[in-house]
């Protein structure tokens, strides 16, 4: 069973009649606390009934309303194009990872070099957005696996990180979604993911702490062993490329 390491905030699903009531209380409690409720991004069943251009039109309409409600004069040349720009950015860029059609196609290669040690792809930079406030999460991911006979192109790991980052996210879920996807592709549990990220909802508003960052981790299979975990952490965090 994967997911153990970062299973901090999930609650077991209950089928009792008080489940909805409990859920409503939970939502009230969430407030500024970064609680998330499942490892799957919560999606509506009709999520893909509208095509991208329909979605952009609707978002543009509503974003215009938000700006007008705030009292902004959208006849101003500087603001006039903003709703359209935001809609395009949401659908085509920063939330494009909600749509499985944008998932990177990954091809596997045979592990010809018989490299059976861990492979670490470190300092993968990403931008995501906090699903509680819709402001950026800026971070770095360190990802490792031990080959089970297959390898993937290095840039594909970056693409997987960025695909899942391009959703409204919480960091724990992002960590596990990356690990799960790699485990599926590489057909192994020997996966580790470490994410260190700054949340603008913590630094630019609320508590306004500009120096803290959040670390989440996932260790599967052999990475649960102390020495392997230690090697991964050493490679991820301590190698400064002084030798290059």
The catalytic site residues sit at 130-133, 171, 199, 201
Per DSSP, which regions of the chain are E strands?
Answer: 108-110, 118-130, 136-146, 150-152, 168-169, 191-199, 214-219
Judged by CB under 5 A, the stretch of 65-73, 122-130, 178-186, 236-244 that binds Zn ion is: 122-130
3-state secondary structure of 172: helix
Range 55-94, binding Zn ion (CB under 5 A): none
Q: Which is nearer to Zn ion, 137 or 178 (CB)?
A: 137
R_g (Cα) of the chain, nearest Å: 20
Q: Which is nearer to Zn ion, 35 or 119 (CB)?
A: 35
Q: Enumerate the β-bridge partners of residue 194.
A: 142, 217
Site mask for Zn ion (CB under 5 A), range 133-172, x = bound: x---------------------------------------
Q: List the one residue from 165, 182, 201, 233 that touches Zn ion (CB under 5 A).
A: 201
CB of 21 to Zn ion, least distance (A): 25
CB of 99 to Zn ion, least distance (A): 23
Q: List the one residue from 55, 56, 132, 173 that touches Zn ion (CB under 5 A).
A: 132
112 exposed, middle or buried (CB, 10 Å; 0-12, 13-18, 19+)?
exposed
Q: Which is nearer to Zn ion, 147 or 216 (CB)?
A: 216
Alpha-carbon distances of 9 from 26, 125, 210, rounded to whole Å: 11, 25, 24
Q: List the one residue from 91, 130, 141, 146 that touches Zn ion (CB under 5 A).
A: 130
Q: Does the protein bind Zn ion through residue 198 (CB under 5 A)?
A: no
Distance from C-alpha of 207 to C-alpha of 103, rounded to nearest angstrom:
35
> Cβ atoms within 10 A of the Cβ of 47, count?
12
Six-digit token pair at 224?
A: 């649960």
Q: Which is nearer to Zn ion, 33 or 114 (CB)?
A: 33
Interacting residue ranges for Zn ion, rule: CB under 5 A: 130, 132-133, 201
């Amino acid at each position: 069973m994967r997911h153990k390491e970062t299973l901090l905030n999930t609650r077991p699903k209950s089928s009792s009649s008080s489940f909805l009531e409990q859920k409503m209380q939970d939502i009230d409690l969430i407030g500024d606390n970064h609680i998330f409720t499942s490892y799957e991004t919560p999606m509506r069943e009709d999520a893909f009934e509208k095509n991208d251009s329909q979605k952009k039109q609707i978002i543009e309409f509503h974003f215009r309303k938000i700006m007008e409600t705030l009292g902004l004069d959208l006849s101003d040349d500087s603001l006039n194009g903003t709703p359209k720009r935001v809609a395009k950015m949401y659908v085509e860029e920063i939330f494009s990872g909600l749509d499985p059609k944008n998932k990177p196609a990954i091809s596997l290669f045979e592990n010809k070099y018989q490299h059976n040690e861990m492979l670490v792809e470190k300092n993968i930079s990403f931008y995501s957005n906090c699903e509680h406030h819709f402001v950026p999460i800026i971070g770095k991911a360190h990802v490792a696996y031990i080959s089970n006979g297959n390898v993937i192109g290095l840039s594909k790991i970056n693409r997987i990180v960025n695909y899942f980052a391009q959703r409204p996210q919480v960091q724990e879920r992002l960590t596990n979604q990356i690990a799960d996807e790699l485990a599926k592709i590489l057909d192994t549990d020997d996966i580790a993911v470490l994410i260190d990220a700054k949340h603008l909802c913590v630094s630019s508003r609320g508590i306004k702490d500009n120096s803290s960052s959040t670390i989440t981790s996932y260790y599967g299979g052999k990475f649960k062993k102390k020495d392997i975990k230690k090697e991964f952490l050493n490679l991820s965090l301590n190698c400064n490329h002084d030798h290059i």
